[in-house]
Amino acid sequence: DAKTTQPTSMDCAEGRAANLPCNHSTISGNEYVYWYRQIHSQGPQYIIHGLKNNETNEMASLIITEDRKSSTLILPHATLRDTAVYYCIVRVERSGNTGKLIFGQGTTLQVKP
């Protein structure tokens, strides 16, 4: 079973920041938080991941609470192309990239003009 809880759907106005929450209250100390998104009819696309510090890359920012029980993915200036299903996943990062990704239902983000 997925170890994360996300809202089923969210709307965001184009050009505004999209803030997608995720609860992972049972996260272990060695588990990372990963975010993927899946645009209709495509495979999931990696966005960002982090352990306990906030992370930022060219796509998004990841804010993890101090107790690590929840996190927020921030798309700073959402565009219509950001409309997708966003998945929050927790897993142990290990050398060799072995292991599976356990997807939940994800959050369907609809960016509106």
Partner 1 sequence: DAGVTQSPTHLIKTRGQQVTLRCSPKSGHDTVSWYQQALGQGPQFIFQYYEEEERQRGNFPDRFSGHQFPNYSSELNVNALLLGDSALYLCASSSSHGSWGYTFGSGTRLTVV
Provide the sign of the torsion angle of the four alpha carbons 69, 31, 64, 43, taken in this order: negative
- Rounded distance, CA 74 to CA 14, Å? 14
Q: How far is CA 46 from CA 24, 59, 88, in A?
A: 19, 10, 11
In sequence order, the β-bridge partners of residue 111 are 12
Residue 30 or 46 having the CB closest to partner 1: 46
Question: CB of 60: closest distance to partner 1 in angstroms?
Answer: 16
Question: CB of 55: closest distance to partner 1 in angstroms?
Answer: 13
The residue within the footprint of partner 1, chosen from 43, 58, 67, 113 (CB under 8 A), is 43
Residue 59 binds to partner 1 (criterion: CB under 8 A): no
Residue 50 binds to partner 1 (criterion: CB under 8 A): no
6 CB neighbour count, 10 Å cutoff:
22
Binding residues (CB under 8 A) for partner 1: these are 2, 41-46, 49, 85, 87, 93, 95-106
